[in-house]
Amino acid sequence: MFSGLEEIDLITDPAEALTMFCDIINKTVSNHAPVREKRVKRNHQPGWFTDEILSTIHDRKKCHKAGKIDQYKIIRNKLSSMIKRSKKIFFYKCY
C-alpha cells in the first residue's frame, strides 16, 4: 500500500488529514505523471518573419547539430541582425 496512508488514520483533525492525503497524492502523481511542457507553433507567423529568416534558422540548427561552432556563431549573429532589421522595417511601415 502507499506509504504514509497509515499515518492518516492516526490523525484526528479532518482538515489536517485531508491536507496530508492531498500531499501524498500530489507527490505520487508528480512522480509517476509529471507535467510536460509542449511548444505550440503559430498558424500564422508575424509579418516580419520572412522565408529568408526561416531558412537561416534551419542553417543555424544544422551547424549546431554538426558541431560547427564557429560557423554556428556567424550564422547566429547574422540571424539576429536579420530579425532586428526585418522588425524595424515592418514596424516602420505600420506607421
The tens digit of pLDDT for each residue in 69-82 reads 999 999 999 999 99
Angle at 38 between CA 68 and CA 86, to 5 degrees: 55
Query: What pLDDT score does 2 carry?
Result: 53
Which residue is listed with cell 516602420? 92
Q: Which amino acid is at 69?
A: I
Listed in sequence order, the residues at least 6 apart from 16 whose beta carbon sits closer than 8 Å to its beta carbon are: none
Query: What pLDDT score does 44 carry?
Result: 86
Query: What pLDDT score does 3 carry?
Result: 63
User: Which of helix, strand or coil describes residue 36?
Assistant: coil
The grid coordinates of residue 82 equal 536579420
Average pLDDT per block of 10 residues along the chain, 95 residues long = 72 90 90 86 87 96 95 97 96 88
User: Which of helix, strand or coil describes residue 25?
Assistant: helix
